[in-house]
Amino acid sequence: MKKSTSLKEFLNQKDFYKIKLHLISSNHYKIVAKINNTKGWFVLDTGASTTFVAQTAIEKFRLDIEPQKIKAHGAGPDEIETKISKNNKLRIGQWVFETCNIACIDLNPINRAFKSADLAEVDGIIGADVLKKGNAVIDYDKNYLYLK
| Tens of pLDDT, residues 8-67 | 888 888 999 999 999 999 999 999 999 999 999 999 999 999 999 999 999 999 999 976
Confirm whether 1 is domain-assigned.
no
Q: Is residue 102 part of a domain?
A: yes
Residue 93 near residue 60, CB atoms below 8 Å: no
- Would you say residue 36 lies in a domain? yes
- The pLDDT value recorded for residue 82 is 84
CB burial class (10 A; 0-12, 13-18, 19+) of residue 52? buried
140 in a structural domain:
yes
Rg (C-alpha) for the chain, rounded Å, is: 16
Task: Enumerate residues 6+ apart whose C-beta is below 8 A from 141.
Answer: none
Residues spanned by the domain of 139:
17-147
Answer for the pair 54, 72: CB distance below 8 angstroms, yes or no: no
CA distance 89 to 4: 37
Answer whether residue 11 is part of any domain.
no
Residue 49 falls within a domain, yes or no?
yes
CATH of the domain at 71: 2.40.70.10
pLDDT 10s digits, 98-142: 999 999 999 999 999 999 999 999 999 999 999 999 999 999 999
* Total-model pTM: 0.87
User: How many separate domains does the chain show?
Assistant: 1
Q: Does 62 map to a domain? A: yes
> Environment class of residue 3 by beta-carbon count within 10 Å: exposed (0-12), middle (13-18) or buried (19+)?
exposed
Question: Is residue 106 in a domain?
Answer: yes
